[in-house]
Structure 1
Amino acid sequence: MSFLMGPALLFCPADRPERYQKAAERSDAVIVDLEDAVAPADKQRARGAILAQLGATGDGPELDPSRTIIRINPAGTEEFEKDLHCLKHTPYRHVMLAKAESAAQLEELEGYSVIALCETALGIVNAAAIAAAPNVVGLMWGAEDLLASLGGTSSRTDDGAYRAVALHARSTVLLAARAFGKDAVDSVYVNIPDLDGLAVEARDAVASGFSSKACIHPNQVAAVRGAYAPSESEVAEATQLLAAAAAAGSGVFQHEGKMIDGPILKHAESTLRRAVH
């Protein structure tokens, strides 16, 4: 059910249509945001901007629908209903549901492929049930909204590392998504100038099994793509390992002094899959 086109997803405020195309060009998929990035007083104007960019002549959207995700407001809110009314008049059928908290909420999004954004305590607790919903194609977790829902003040310690509860939520969402064969999207890195820190976190996302990482600034895209792109030596090693496995037949075998079995071969296959993006 995966539809994500690459590792770097870039948020763009829906009320800034002049940024839509630039965001799409600089990322693997653009997330046009009707929720947190738009002030309450500007949400209707933001929906109008989405409709306006489709073209007055109806010739088609400025954005590629296959690489466009619309983040909509939480289920059960008036803004959610208005968002859905807007989307009915567009070709966009990939949505991100903010503050997803139950599988029942996904039933209201029949006909859409959904990235469920688990960013509250209830959403994290129900992550597995949400991931099991048939129209869910991916799960993402949100750190700061989660801590706010807990009554906390920050998802990170003074040295920039995630607090234990945030790491627990991150792991919970990743495991839930992968258990049901769905994509897993790592949370944004809010310290925009710290590209080195972003690269470290993105490399951990790769190694942990996240499909992609969300970005909040175009400058972050290169760091995320760099983390997901295997080096030439990693590709060569994976290729050689799989060739050795084919020559050895089935079962456990030795390669360059190491014992190789099924999970190690899957790691190599994952490396080669990332190399094609």
Structure 2
Amino acid sequence: MPSPDSSSPSAVLPFTMGPALLFCPADRPERFRKAAERSDAVILDLEDAVAPADKPRAREAILGQLGAGELDPGSTIVRVNPVGTAEFELDLHTLAKTPYRTVMLAKAESAGQLKALAGYQVIALCETAAGIVNASSIAAEPNTVGLMWGAEDLLASLGGLSSRNDDGGYRAVALHSRSAVLLAAKAAGKEAIDSVYVNIPDLEGLLAESHDAAASGFGAKACIHPNQVGVVREAYAPSAEVVVEATELLEAAAAAGTGVFQFKGKMIDGPILKHAQATLRRAGHPFQGTGTGA
């Protein structure tokens, strides 16, 4: 098994890609640059998006575009096949020849599997029953930078039929799994990525789900079509009014010093300040004050 070259980072860096991550089949190199330009990060997919017979061509396509310099390694993710498969080993041989060091591991099911990707920064895709149950130990691995959950593969692994009810909302087991992955990731200090929204024409439903993802603490959401990117970005971008309110709140906290204080008739404490800080980070304007609000 090849190891990453000397250009790979010696320490795992925080995952900062997002909020809109766009999958692109790795056997469609003509789409690589467009997918990268239209999203915050592109996921070159060597797994489900590529038919088994086309996987060799997909790996060659990743290598073939390197000379053109079309993709930024800092905003490129490669989804590899599950650990233990012959395709995974071939994927690793390909990755070793590229500058890409952020990998999405399909069907991650145990912490031990992450050791096969030592030297890479790994987004563990928990999309089976075992992956959900073991999410906490997977998130705790040193080279894990984030967790993502996959709804449809999960329900298939359970012998179910669909992750959603007739009204479009998630079934209880899917909601539980979504929360489990979010909690496991955040407890380990890692990022959490929300699953794709497969009903591509339903942008209204995507917007509502993306708003919920952002409000719940997911740092990013995966997309399967370029038209979804703008919707996800809209959901993650705080309004001007919300940014002003968060700034005013943190400025008041800095002036008040430490402890609980009143702001516009409300009692303010640490958790509320953290919400305000997160709002400004999402807006690209982290608060630079001093004191409690810093």
Alignment check: 8 A CA contact 1:143 1:187 kept:
yes
Q: Which residue among 100, 111, 116 is the counterpart of 2:119?
A: 111
What per-residue deviation string (whole Å, max 9, x for no partner) do you get for residues 207-257 of structure 1?
000000000000000000000000000000000101111111111111111
What per-residue deviation string (whole Å, max 9, x for no partner) do you get for residues 164-191 of structure 1?
0000000000000000110100000000
Q: CA RMSD in A?
A: 0.9
Structure 2 segments unaligned to the other structure (5+ residues): 1-12, 286-294
SS of the residue corresponding to residue 154 of structure 1 reads: coil
Length-normalised TM-score, structure 2 = 0.92
Whichever residue aligns with residue 202 of structure 1, its letter is S
Residues in 2 aligned to 1:176 and 1:113: alpha-carbon distance in whole angstroms: 17
State the shift of 1:124 in Å.
0.2
Residues in 2 aligned to 1:131 and 1:36: alpha-carbon distance in whole angstroms: 23
Are 2:100 and 1:92 aligned? yes
Dislocated runs of 4+, deviation >4 Å? none
SS of the residue corresponding to residue 95 of structure 1 reads: strand
Residues in 1 aligned to 2:235 and 2:183: alpha-carbon distance in whole angstroms: 21
Q: Which residue among 254, 258, 265 is the counterpart of 1:246?
A: 254
**1:40 maps to which residue?**
52
Q: Which residue among 223, 231, 234 is the counterpart of 1:215?
A: 223
Residues in 1 aligned to 2:243 and 2:263: alpha-carbon distance in whole angstroms: 16
SS of the residue corresponding to residue 230 of structure 1 reads: coil
**1:13 maps to which residue?**
25
**1:120 maps to which residue?**
128
Alignment check: 8 A CA contact 1:72 1:97 kept:
yes
**1:2 maps to which residue?**
14
Whichever residue aligns with residue 209 of structure 1, its letter is G
Alignment check: 8 A CA contact 1:103 1:133 kept:
yes
Alignment check: 8 A CA contact 2:45 2:79 kept:
yes
State the shift of 1:4 in Å.
2.9
Whichever residue aligns with residue 127 of structure 2, its letter is E
Are 2:158 and 1:158 aligned? no
Residues in 2 aligned to 1:4 and 1:236: alpha-carbon distance in whole angstroms: 24
Give the stretch that moved more between structures: 228-237 or 241-250: 241-250
Alignment check: 8 A CA contact 2:18 2:221 kept:
no
Alignment check: 8 A CA contact 2:26 2:44 kept:
yes
Equivalent pairs counted in the alignment come to: 273
The percent identity for this pair of structures is 77
Alignment check: 8 A CA contact 2:23 2:223 kept:
yes
Length-normalised TM-score, structure 1 = 0.97
Alignment check: 8 A CA contact 2:23 2:45 kept:
yes
Q: Which residue among 270, 273, 281 is the counterpart of 1:265?
A: 273
